[in-house]
Structure 1
Amino acid sequence: MNAFKRLVFACLLFSSVGLFGQVSNQLEMLDIFNLEYVSDPQISPDGQKVIYVRNFKDVMTDRNLSNLWIASFDGSSNRPLTTGEQNDRSPKWSHDGKKIVYASNKSGKSEIYLRWMDSGEEMVLVNSEKSPSNITWSPDDKHLAFNMFVPKAKPSPIKMPAAPKGAKWNSPPKYVDDLGWRRDGVGELPQGNQQLFTVPVSGGTPRQLTDAPFNHGSAVWGKDCQHLYFSANMREDRELEGTDSDIYSINLMSGQLTKLTDRYGPDGNPAISPDGKKMAYLGFDDKYRGYQISRLYIADIDGSNSQLISGNLDRDVGNITWSADGKGLYFQYTDKAHTKIGYITTKGKVTEITDGLGGVSLGRPYTSGAFSIAANGNYAYTWAETQEPSDLGVGNKGNNKRITKVNEDLLDYKQLGSVEEIWYKSSADGLDIHGWIVKPADFDPNKKYPLILEIHGGPFTSYGPVFSGEIQLMAAAGYVVLYTNPRGSTSYGYDFGNQIDKNYPSKDYDDLMSGVDEVIKRGYIDENQLFVTGGSGGGVLTSWIIGKTDRFKAAVVAKPVINWYSWALYADMSAFATRYWFDKKPWEDPEKYMKHSPISLVGNVTTPTMLLTGESDLRTPIHESEQYYSALKLQGVETAMVRIPGAYHGIAARPSNLIGKVAAILTWFDKYKTESVSVDIRR
């Protein structure tokens, strides 16, 4: 058993019971395996039933699993459609509401299942070693379209002689000539591409529509059932111009491809109007900025007369769905960390339908969510709470109802930390900054508590008022936790997001320090017990912070970028990083790369620091942590390195990794923490 596994095991053993063998009423490490959440709610065409994905975990196999459940719109008849230790996902209703299709690996392969809703009978439509995805019904419910990876061998130019009979040679050399030859979460990329397929609902062999050397986005059907609309980047130099995609149509009879959009920037997510005459889609004019707003456009079905209709909404638009009358579209957006459903007319007038979406990220409190809407205006969505992961919510015109409590068996008898929303001014320039304070469940205002500053990644993402298993475990360990959205965070508009364009880290440091000062002013924080941690972009900022101040007793730098020069040439996003996050390539402007690299400040660091990264991480590769670890050791700073075996950038992809991450952080902070003391804060 290696050191990391011993650490996790010790923490699990300690947290499984309270003093004298009593069960604790606070959240514990092993509770992570008992947490469930709702995702991908799909409302029926008549608005009377909702199918949703219920996600759960298996403590014995350390896997994330999911089944399909169904409930009536009024919350009654909530029951499973599928059961078993498998992954059932992506349910889609037929237009007549009589059937669904969904993807599952219950047979050990990736398959698409067709299910009759009246009888519950099922059949396999697609059986493949590869994973079919983005399943859509034709308007007449006779066919499905979907994406699937098609391997295509790329012969090596290196010719090896034949090995003698019985010889045991090494595998032949690997010949790589692609810039994007590996990707985080996958590793080395197989040769081939995502292609488009159709299959009759009556059964039969899937028909491959495309066979091109580039990936095809998810397709939607034209009203005539004879055309599919999809996005793709067909540029010859797409490795370097990876964001420049356009929308195409393909004629299913002739195979003819027609390009429908033509501007520099990403165009995608097409949605066809109910009368089949218009196409809505998302995109933007690419200006090489760090943060660019995803906007909504409408064009004629042939791509002509394109118009921007969300120009007055300074927020990203996503998940677009035409209204039944074709006069507008429903969409999802996040405004000041609150995820919402909106409606926009074809003239650009925006109305908020409801907010409170989210909760599908169990680890940290990232904004998220999903919804679907029926022709009668009934909608279903992931209901977000600060005290629970996502449940199923339904509503109409803002009259909402929560119809599930998938964690009542666990959280009804657990006391969680309270979450308080705050706004404060940055010391840098008075900019308004948004954040949240999480207090222990047994919070006593007459005590002084240690504070953890927890910083989000991205950096162009946002935290919100939603459940976070990691932060609740920190609060259960006796810490007050502060998390914020410093400048550069999304959901506050184009200008706020680009406050750090080509200048990261910078004043976001002041935003974070001002947040710490704001919480300290409230009187219940021990100023001598400040701790800081964050992952990815949060790891960058954590290492930057301890290079600029010694206020913190200890730090945990998770999956960071320490040296922008080395990262830009080693991570899985080189073409993007050297164009959108910097003005020039590393060798063209090495001083700027070093100026913003935390390694440039390592000589100032005195804070005891732990490094924590997945060993298979390709987004912020572990060599970044190794550089910093060696530098800190050479500086004589107390440091340790935690390596998560087999983990990519998304460490929490396995439940035990999430537990191990929090256990490691708390082990390091507890080493430097002293007991909370009672004080009279009125003095």
Structure 2
Amino acid sequence: MIGMEPVLMEDLERYCFLSKLTGNHNADYPVYVCVVGRMDKEANRYRYTLKMQKNEEWRTVCELEKPGVLLFLDADTLLLSGVKSTDAPAQPNSAQTRFSTFLCSTEEWKETFTLSLKTTDVQRLTKTQLLIKAEIQLEAADAYALDPEQAEAWQKTQHENADYTVLEELPWCADGRGVIQGKRMRLFVYDTLTTELFPLTDPRMNCGSVSACPELGKALFTGMTYGRKASQREGLYCFDAQTGSVTTLIEEGVYRRIKEPRFVSGTIVFSATDGLRYGKNESLNFYTLNPDTGAVTLLAKLDDPLGSSIVTDCRLSSGSAVKTDGTSLYFTMTQGWTTPLFQLDLKGNLRRVLDFNGSIDDFDVTGQTVRFIGQRAHRLQEIEQAQLPQGKLTSLTDWNADALADRDVIQPRYLSFHSGGRQIDGWVLTPWHYDPSQRYPAVLEIHGGPNTTYGEVFHHEMQMLAGKGYFVLFCNPVGSVGRGDAFADIRGRYGCEDYQNLTDFLDEAIQAYPAIDPKRIAVSGGSYGGFMVNWMIGHTHRFACAISQRSIANFMTIYGLSDFGYYFVRDQLSADPLNEQDQARLWRHSPLRYAGQVKTPTLFLHSEDDHRCSISEGLQMFTALSDRGVPTRMVCFKGEHHELSRSGKPLHRLRRFAEIQRWLDRYCPVNAVSESVFPGEEGC
């Protein structure tokens, strides 16, 4: 477009990242709040503000240290944590959480209470009681109740042992949290009148999903209790505030996964899977449970995952995929490459109540009005509104409008093809100022997961590459979600049909766009995408260069070093890493086995604190390629984990882009001598 510039690497600093959209659920006095994050390059962090809408106007309420608790105690009173204070700034790893209240009508602030807990969630249980979810240490499970002298003694002991890490259980680490030996998520009840805090769950239980119902004075929660090894099979429990009792509704081990329990018109509804057909990633079904008889009844069978699995690098966090208005469930689900909104009632009637060609990252339903944080192909996150069912969409914010106002955003072009007897969805971003008579390099992007999906949403890295003059090619091979569990299931077949889909897509793209120079094609991907990059360079020499990020090289070391390795490998590779015969199978599916065949110049990008795909994975490939004399480079990012490309520190994210661009400039340059494309030309 005339007068427009391409999307640039540093444009990331312009973007607003939206999260935690929360309403007071009062139709007569509607109030909404939302957290908005922006990069601060100078401070190398994100700055967060809380915005509030009342009387149709959005305004900034306060600055936040980080997104924390946002909870309406009533229609006018907002409870929140993480409010930025100039008097006593919060410490990054503090075990204390400060809470404040904000009266929306008068805009009065009050610092209400502080808990000696690292709080992660708060829900209203009764008029005076709050349900608190917080991280605790088993060896000091009652640290919240210590007097000052006892707390000082505990801190002294911690300091004396700071140089030692003792591991006694699995999992011993978690990506984004580091070493979690002896750590659990525990539930507490806090009385706002008496200021009494008492534990609700056994300290050995690790609590998962939590949902309180103030109208009933009850709470549902999932959890698993363990000593040496977590089974990864949660139970379902109910707490009654009136009696003070906890009832086991479903024993641990019955289901592979239990998520999102809710009270709907007094009935217990939850989502779960036994994983018998498709393993740990099998889609969850909705069930009802009779607490008197323990009878469980299937309410709705699903074949796609809850929430948005659409890949983007312009989302810092997502909200809960399941909400209730008291009489029905509302939830998002990834179908194809979109996340429509569904309504489910207690009779099992499932309705698709809102279509949205993009990603719904968070939503709130009040009556027949839904508001959500959405993003599409041509725009970044904004808050949108619709009347259900299928009402017209109205944009309520334009916080990201200026960021792209003078940018020429390249629209993805859909490219469907067949591979391995399946129809596969793919897309192409053409280079900025695309001229079909010229030759251009291309980058094949491969998503992580594999149980995620590409869609038609804004992706900064892809737009940046297109702006630099590259074709950007991306598709959803078998293993991707949104096409049903059978399509998403590649257990025991990593590097087989998925590899074929990707090579077929590349051939299809070259045929559809003859301007692609087949000698200047790079491949890039992270996590599962990094595995596939490592796999592809060991099986073909067609790429000019490769960029392997947070990758997998060896499934035996993934078993021993990844936070989910001890159950992921058995499930996804259909092999027991402690069985000699199965070890041979794991080696066959490990890219490192084929490293001796690699000739492709490869850049490895890894985070030093990545506990999902350990830095050792990249180091193994880097060592093998360097040993063979293959041009290679490895860049390690200190203080980052698996989410570097999506939520890493600003300077680190920008350095990552710079490393990618330098590698492409060297081995897959835009400014090579271009040649005209003639009908029937076979390529350079």
The interval holding the TM-score normalised by the smaller chain is 0.7 to 0.9
Residue 629 of structure 1: CA displacement?
1.0
- Aligned-pair distance for 1:538? 0.4
Change in CA separation of 1:305 and 1:317 when aligned onto 2, cut-off 3 Å: farther
Question: Are residue 300 (structure 1) and residue 290 (structure 2) matched?
Answer: yes
* Aligned amino acid, residue 264 of structure 2: S
| Counterparts in 2 of 1:645 and 1:24: CA distance versus 1, 3 Å | farther
Identify the match of residue 321 of structure 1 among 320, 323, 337: 323
Using the TM superposition, give the Cα deviation of residue 593 of structure 1 relative to its aligned residue in structure 2, in angstroms.
Answer: 0.7
Task: Identify the residue that residue 161 of structure 1 maps to in structure 2.
Answer: none
1:530-552 CA deviation, whole Å, 9 max, x = no partner?
A: 11010010010011111111111
1:573-623 alpha-carbon deviations (Å, 9 max, x no partner): 132123312333224111101100111111221111111111222211111
**Alpha carbons of structure 1 residues 616 and 321: separation in structure 2 relative to 1, 3 Å:** closer
Instruction: Supply the AA of the counterpart residue of 2:40.
Output: D
- Using the TM superposition, give the Cα deviation of residue 24 of structure 1 relative to its aligned residue in structure 2, in angstroms: 8.4
Q: Is 1:492 aligned to 2:483, yes or no?
A: yes
- In the alignment, which residue of structure 2 is the partner of 1:373? 365
Q: Distance between the aligned counterparts of 1:507 and 1:529, measured in 2?
A: 25
User: Does 1:101 pair with 2:79?
Assistant: yes
Aligned to 2:238: 249
In 1, Cα distance between the equivalents of 2:67 and 2:194?
20
Question: Which residue of the partner structure matches residue 654 of structure 2?
Answer: 659
| Matches of 1:68 and 1:170, distance apart in 2 | 39
**Whole-angstrom CA distance in 2 between matches of 1:402 and 1:436:** 26
In 2, distance between residues paired with 1:63 and 1:169?
A: 31
Q: Are residues 175 and 642 of structure 1, via their aligned partners in 2, closer, same or farther at CA, if it must alter by over 3 Å?
A: closer
Q: Give the Cα separation in 2 of the matches to 1:205 and 1:122.
A: 23
Report what 2:466 is aligned to: 475
Question: Does the residue aligned with 2:541 lie in a helix, a strand or coil?
Answer: coil
Match of 1:31 in 2: 11
Residue 494 (structure 2) pairs with residue 507 (structure 1): no
Number of residue equivalences: 625
Alignment of 1:398-477 (within 5 A): 398-399=390-391, 400-426=393-419, 429-477=420-468
Mapped to 1, the partners of 2:261 and 2:429 lie a distance apart of 40
Partners of 1:343 and 1:253 lie apart in 2 by: 31
Q: For the structure 1 residues 518 and 391, does the alpha-carbon distance in structure 2 shift closer, same or farther, using more than 3 Å as the test? A: same
Q: 2:663 aligns with which of 658, 662, 668?
A: 668
Deviation at 1:88, TM superposition (A): 4.0
* TM-superposed deviation, 1:241: 1.3
How far apart are 1:151 and its partner, in Å? 2.8
Closer, same or farther in 2 for the Cα pair 1:323/1:222, shift >3 Å? closer
> Matches of residues 530-549 of structure 1 in structure 2 within 5 Å?
530-549=521-540
Structure 1 match to 2:248: 259
Deviations 1:5-59 (A, max 9, x none): xxxxxxxxxxxxxxxxxx9822222221221122222233134443222121211
TM-score, length basis structure 1: 0.86
Report the 3-state secondary structure (helix = DSSP H, G, I; strand = E; otherwise coil) of the residue aligned with 1:586. Answer: coil
Question: What are the ranges of 5 or more consecutive residues in structure 1 without an aligned counterpart?
Answer: 1-22, 156-167, 360-367
* Shift in Å, 1:149: 1.6
SS in 2 for 1:25: coil
In structure 2, relative to structure 1, the CA distance for the partners of 1:128 and 1:169 (3 Å cut) is closer
1:353 matched residue in structure 2: 353
2:119 corresponds to 1:132: yes
Question: Which region of structure 1 is more displaced relative to structure 2, 616-625 or 96-105?
Answer: 96-105
Q: Distance in 2 between matches of 1:348 and 1:421?
A: 35
**Which residue does 1:65 correspond to in 2?**
47
Matched residue SS, 1:667: helix
Listed as ranges, the matches of 1:143-162 within 5 Å are 143-153=129-139
| Distance in structure 2 (CA, Å) of the matches to 1:391 and 1:182 | 35
Residue matched to 1:575 = 566
SS class of match (1:611)? strand
Map 1:84-233 onto structure 2 (within 5 A): 84=63, 86-94=65-73, 96-107=74-85, 108-109=89-90, 110-128=97-115, 130-138=117-125, 141-153=127-139, 173-189=164-180, 191-201=182-192, 204-222=195-213, 225-233=216-224
Query: Within 1, Cα distance between the matches of 2:291 and 2:434?
Result: 59
Deviations 1:53-77 (A, max 9, x none): 212121111112322212358xx31
1:344 to partner: Cα distance: 2.0
SS of alignment partner, residue 584 of structure 2: helix
- On the 8 A contact 2:220/2:238 being kept in 1, the answer is yes
3-state secondary structure, aligned to 2:656? helix
Structure-2 separation of matches of 1:432 and 1:303:
46
Unmatched 5+ stretches in structure 2:
91-96, 142-158, 308-320
Tell me if structure 2 keeps the 8 A contact 1:418–1:441.
Answer: no
Distance 1:150 1:225 in 2: 28
SS of 2:334's equivalent?
Answer: strand
- Using the alignment, how far apart are the partners of 1:658 and 1:64 within structure 2? 12
Contact 1:39-1:370 at 8 Å conserved across structures: yes
Residue type of the alignment partner of 1:663? A
Contact (CA 8 Å) 2:275, 2:281: kept in 1 or not? no
Q: Aligned pair in 2 of structure 1 residues 114, 439: CA closer, same or farther (>3 Å)?
A: same
Q: For residues 134 and 170 of structure 1, do their structure 2 counterparts lie closer, same or farther at Cα, with a shift above 3 Å needed?
A: closer
2:624 counterpart SS class: helix
Greater mean deviation of Cα atoms: 118-127 or 385-394 = 118-127
How many Å separate the matches in 2 of 1:449 and 1:496? 33
Asked if residue 613 in structure 1 is aligned to residue 606 in structure 2, the reply is yes
Question: What percentage of residue pairs aligned between the two structures are identical?
Answer: 24
Instruction: Using the TM superposition, give the Cα deviation of residue 682 of structure 1 relative to its aligned residue in structure 2, in angstroms.
Output: 5.9
CA contact (8 A) 1:293 1:494 kept: yes
Change over 3 Å in CA distance of 1:90–1:338 after alignment to 2: farther
User: Does the residue aligned with 2:208 lie in a helix, a strand or coil?
Assistant: coil
Distance 2:330 2:4 in 1: 44
Instruction: Tell me, in whole angstroms, the C-alpha distance in 1 between the residues paired with 2:678 and 2:131.
Output: 64
Q: Which residue of 2 aligns with 1:383?
A: 374
Q: Does 1:343 pair with 2:343? A: yes
Shift of 1:351: 1.6
CA distance in 2, matches of 1:169, 1:194: 25
**Partner Cα separation in structure 2 for residue 340 and residue 212 of structure 1:** 39
Question: 1:506-562: CA deviations, max 9, x gaps?
Answer: 110011111111211122211111110100100100111111111110001111111
Q: Cα offset for 1:387?
A: 2.6
**The residue matched to 1:585 in structure 2 has which SS?**
coil
2:638 corresponds to 1:645: yes
Contact kept? 1:542, 1:556, Cα under 8 Å: yes
RMSD between superposed Cα atoms in Å: 2.6
d(CA) in 2 for partners of 1:37 and 1:666? 24
- Change over 3 Å in CA distance of 1:98–1:120 after alignment to 2: same
TM-score, length basis structure 2: 0.86
Q: How does 1:4-19 map to 2 (within 5 A)?
A: none
Q: Distance in 2 between matches of 1:222 and 1:303?
A: 21
Q: Distance in 1 between matches of 2:322 and 2:424?
A: 29
Aligned residue type for 2:322:
I
Q: Do the aligned partners of residues 93 and 357 (structure 1) sit closer, same or farther apart at CA in structure 2, a change above 3 Å counting?
A: farther
Greater shift after overlay, 670-679 or 555-564?
670-679
Q: Relative to 1, partners in 2 of residues 1:667 and 1:348: Cα closer, same or farther, differing over 3 Å?
A: same
From the superposition, tell whether residues 644 and 539 of structure 1 become closer, same or farther in structure 2 (CA, over 3 Å): same
For residues 111 and 565 of structure 1, what CA distance do their matches in structure 2 show?
43
Cα separation, 1, equivalents of 2:599 and 2:411: 33
Q: Which residue of 1 aligns with 2:318?
A: none
1:78 corresponds in structure 2 to 58
Does the 8 A contact of 2:570 with 2:577 survive in 1? no
- Shift in Å at residue 173 of structure 1? 4.8
